[in-house]
Amino acid sequence: MISWMEVKLAEVQQLIQAGLVVAAVLFVAHVWWKSKALIPTLGAFLLAGGVLWGAANIQWFQNEIGQEMHSVGPPASARPRPESSRPLAS
């Protein structure tokens, strides 16, 4: 049962990535069609490439975030502020 679910999840992930590729191509084509200019089209191409790279490397992001979450030291202790730094009552 578990292996069947893993296979289906892998298929869904591939389907989503294929959909993202189609969406990226349509996005770049739409920007070119509307602007007919090189700079906005290159910007759309770079943005689409960044989104595709991020979607393909989601595991890398999860690993980096996990490392940062576990590398944080112990929480700071709550110390009362000295009297001189407290705001004056009005």
pTM: 0.66
Please give the average per-residue pLDDT across 59-79, as a whole number. 78
Q: Over 70: is that where the pLDDT of 8 sits?
A: yes
**Does residue 24 or residue 62 have the better pLDDT?**
24
Mean pLDDT of the chain: 87
Q: Other CB atoms closer than 10 Å to residue 31's CB: what's the count?
A: 19
Listed by start position, the domains of the chain span 1-58
- Contact by Cβ (8 Å): 55, 20: yes
Distance from C-alpha of 35 to C-alpha of 37, rounded to nearest angstrom = 5
Distance from C-alpha of 49 to C-alpha of 59, rounded to nearest angstrom = 17
* H/E stretch holding 44: helix 38-56
